[in-house]
Structure 1
Amino acid sequence: MKVLVIGNGGREHVLTWKIAQSNRVDEIYVAPGNAGTAQIATNLAIDSCDIDGLVDFASKKEIDLTFVGPEAPLVAGIVDRFQDRGLMIFGPDSKAAQLEGSKVFSKDFMGKYNIPTAEYRSFTRPAEAVKYIQDKGVPIVVKAEGLAAGKGVFVAGTEEEAIEAVNSIMIEERFGQAGERIVIEEYLSGQEATVLAFVDGETIMPMLPSQDHKPAYDHDQGPNTGGMGAYAPAPVVGESLMSDIYDKILRPTISGLREEGINYKGVLYCGLMIADTGARVLEYNVRFGDPEAQIILPLLQTDIIDIAEAVITGKLADIELSWLDKKAVAVIMASGGYPNNYEKGKVITGIEEADNQDNIIVFQAGTAVCQGNIVTDGGRVLAVTALEEDYQSTIDLAYQGVSLIDFEGAYYRNDIASKALK
């Protein structure tokens, strides 16, 4: 069969890598892809948000199955358009994608269906937002309402930081239209964790719990990023807590969406805060996380094509998820300056050497090919993923892989997965 993957990041590289393992797949295309996907598939000069171009290509090329990696085309209705043309596509439609596309929609939805989350208010006027912050006190969380590539969340420890976040989003328009409205939330303390699940509208199959590291620097310091590394399975989500998450979050989310006339199909991402009182939802995403995909998919043994078809056709209950009995750790190597300004075009060395090590896989994200060299082309450049029997060995192996790779300005956190050891 012919498969199309939409996107150009590390998530799309690991998706392409996983799809290539299926003996059912003959051809893989990635739009637009990166230097990593080019090694195992055919990259296309079609932007991931060029829905007309993608629909036309899939139709003319008779693509059998399409995977959507990033959130923007999902929110823009790519699934609806593909379905209108009779094309099979994996992901939620535009109605369901509101869970990620609009923080106000998702927070109102959680309130309506009693899904545990932080107290919140939404604002369209900066002065009213500032007054709310002054009344509530700090710490407090300020979020751009729309899509901001994982960078629209500010955890403010002082009133000045909170007001600066409001001004950055609403007055300076750092995130454009995504910041015309903001959500201000109660600060939740505890450990963050992620639970992803395959959903076919009725059946929900959770994946292994994982833990992302969003702050840019060691010990969870610095600005929020799209994620500086992750590991799975995360011991902070034990068997009993996973059962609670299923009963109190996953099941009510899918049944609540059905009440709203939304048939959710695809991957549901629940970003959670874990405390002594249980789990509360920080955010929903409507696709694989990045970098969570770079640790979850290497541990998944079940054919991703079989899973996707079962999700689309409503037969997920017939699938059994099988997992490697190993730990996975991914360390993100980023461009100097990320998540703020950074330079591109820095030559990367050592990827092949690291990739050739046993139990190390280097997934490329912000990369491109220039004059025969692989060069940096984004903020998050590589995810160096290791698989081993225990957490310490896996951590050590991941950083061994990192030590073999170099590019000007490269930086990474040194404490990825250290919480698993505690």
Structure 2
Amino acid sequence: MNVLLIGSGGREHALAWKLAASPLLTKLYAAPGNPGIAREAELVALDVSNHGAVVAFCREKAVDLVVVGPEGPLVDGIADALRAAGIRVFGPSGHAAQLEGSKGFTKDLCARYDIPTAAYGRFDNAADARAYVEKVGAPIVIKADGLAAGKGVTVAMELQEALDAVEACFDGAFGSAGASVVVEEFLTGEEASFFCLCDGTTALPFGTAQDHKRVGEGDTGPNTGGMGAYSPAPVMTQEMIDRTMDEIVAPTMRGMAEMGAPFTGILFVGLMLTENGPKLIEYNVRFGDPECQVLMMRLKDDLLVLLNAAVDGQLGHVSTRWRDDTALTVVLAAEGYPDAPKKGSVIKGVEEAGAGDIQIFHAGTAFKDGNLVANGGRVLNVTGMAAKVSDARSKVYAALDRIDWPEGFCRRDIGWRAVEREG
């Protein structure tokens, strides 16, 4: 099979690495890719916002499957354009992608189908949002409705912080994503990530993980796209998985089908595990980043077989197998991230650090004058596995310390919840 992978981050490098191992694969293309992905795929300079150009490329290269990594192109309707042209694609329609593209859309779906989630209000002007915040009080959660690269959420512990977050949204801090806001009840519990492969009818559980959103150790500082993750998440017991499937995933699949937008692709269920059971925090319509990296490390099966089953409506005929070991990844980020990451600094020692069973997935890198340089906020994902979380963490940090990049930084406490559970 000829496959086109769309995206350029650590998630896409992990997908490329796994797809490249498939005996079904003939040729893997990636647009635009990155230096790490270039080891697994032929990079192509496609403007993925130009759907016509993507369709033309697929026809020219006889592409059998397009795998869309990031959420932006999905919300923009790239899967619709490809399907209209008769090209098979793994990813939801633009309508179905509203599960991530609009937090208000998802909250309204939850209300309609009795899906457990935080109480909320939805507002298109600052005055009404402020009034709601002042009525409810803090702690409270303010979310820009649209896509904001993981940075449009404020968990406000004080009232003034919440009011400032409302103003920031309507003052344009997140562009059009903040033109409306969702204000949510503050939930108490532990967060976890749960994934399902979906074919429009069937949802197949596809692993658990926990990530670390805040930039600083001890879960301090602003939210990021994710500073590290591990899988499986011990807190996601079989009972919790069953409840999530029954109470959250199943009614979502039914609801999307009833509104004429059956969900196909990967459904990323962001959960808060409360004393009353799992509650939905958010949906994403693509693999998590960096959760994808640890899932791909643990997956025993041929990823391409599973993606084909999802695209062809055959998930009821396949299953998944996982390695028992814990996979853990640590994000190396550029100085200044998440506000204003500094680009262009030279990174050395990546080859040496990635020896043995350590995988280093490139996220925001480029080659310049023969050197590997930082080209984004989150730059590298150092990933390893071991029977115990603590051993996986030790292995990953030992590898990370072999990378020579003074301008980079990372959190040193990735996996702390699971390590504490090990005692």
TM-score by length of 1: 0.98
Range moving further from structure 2, 1-10 or 47-56: 47-56
Report the equivalent of 1:382.
380
Cα distance between partner residues in 2 of 1:372 and 1:48? 27
Range moving further from structure 2, 16-25 or 45-54: 45-54
Cα distance between partner residues in 1 of 2:257 and 2:104? 19
Superposed counterparts of 1:394-405, under 5 Å? 394-405=392-403
Question: What is the CA distance between 1:393 and its match in structure 2?
Answer: 0.6
Report the equivalent of 2:148.
148
Q: Is the 8 A contact 1:140 1:156 kept in 2?
A: yes
Superposed counterparts of 1:285-296, under 5 Å? 285-296=284-295
The residue type paired with residue 405 of structure 1 is I
Report the equivalent of 1:116.
116
Cα distance between partner residues in 2 of 1:71 and 1:313? 21
| 2:97 pairs with 1:97 | yes
Per-residue CA shift, 1:254-312, capped at 9, x if unaligned? 11111212211110010001122111000000110111100001111111111111111
Report the equivalent of 2:239.
240
Flag the 1:345–1:50 CA change in 2: closer, same or farther, 3 A. farther
Per-residue CA shift, 1:14-36, capped at 9, x if unaligned? 00000000011121111001111
Q: Is the 8 A contact 1:338 1:380 kept in 2?
A: yes
Report the equivalent of 1:303.
302
Question: What is the CA distance between 1:53 and its match in structure 2?
Answer: 2.1
Report the equivalent of 1:37.
37
| 2:139 pairs with 1:139 | yes
The residue type paired with residue 176 of structure 1 is G
- Secondary structure of residue in 2 paired with 1:392: helix
CA RMSD of aligned residues (A): 1.0
Report the equivalent of 2:72.
72
Cα distance between partner residues in 2 of 1:320 and 1:124? 43
Q: Is the 8 A contact 1:49 1:72 kept in 2?
A: no
Q: Is the 8 A contact 1:96 1:262 kept in 2?
A: yes
Report the equivalent of 2:414.
416
Cα distance between partner residues in 2 of 1:189 and 1:49? 39
Range moving further from structure 2, 45-54 or 279-288: 45-54
Q: Report % sequence identity.
A: 45
Q: Is the 8 A contact 1:359 1:388 kept in 2?
A: no
Question: What is the CA distance between 1:161 and its match in structure 2?
Answer: 1.1
Question: Mind listing any 5+ residue stretches in structure 2 that lack a counterpart?
Answer: none
The residue type paired with residue 376 of structure 1 is A
Q: Is the 8 A contact 1:51 1:73 kept in 2?
A: no
Report the equivalent of 2:259.
260
Question: What is the CA distance between 1:51 and its match in structure 2?
Answer: 2.3
Cα distance between partner residues in 2 of 1:219 and 1:140? 20
The residue type paired with residue 250 of structure 2 is R
Cα distance between partner residues in 1 of 2:194 and 2:386? 21
Cα distance between partner residues in 1 of 2:251 and 2:404? 46
Cα distance between partner residues in 1 of 2:129 and 2:274? 27
Report the equivalent of 1:198.
197
Report the equivalent of 1:284.
283
- Secondary structure of residue in 1 paired with 2:133: helix
Report the equivalent of 1:368.
366
- Secondary structure of residue in 2 paired with 1:94: coil
Question: What is the CA distance between 1:329 and its match in structure 2?
Answer: 0.3
Q: Is the 8 A contact 1:269 1:287 kept in 2?
A: yes
Question: What is the CA distance between 1:332 and its match in structure 2?
Answer: 0.5
Per-residue CA shift, 1:163-194, capped at 9, x if unaligned? 111121111x1211111101110111111100
Per-residue CA shift, 1:128-164, capped at 9, x if unaligned? 2112111111011111110011111111111121111
Range moving further from structure 2, 178-187 or 317-326: 317-326
Moved over 4 A (4+): none
Cα distance between partner residues in 2 of 1:296 and 1:25? 20
Cα distance between partner residues in 1 of 2:195 and 2:254? 17
Report the equivalent of 1:407.
405
The residue type paired with residue 289 of structure 1 is G
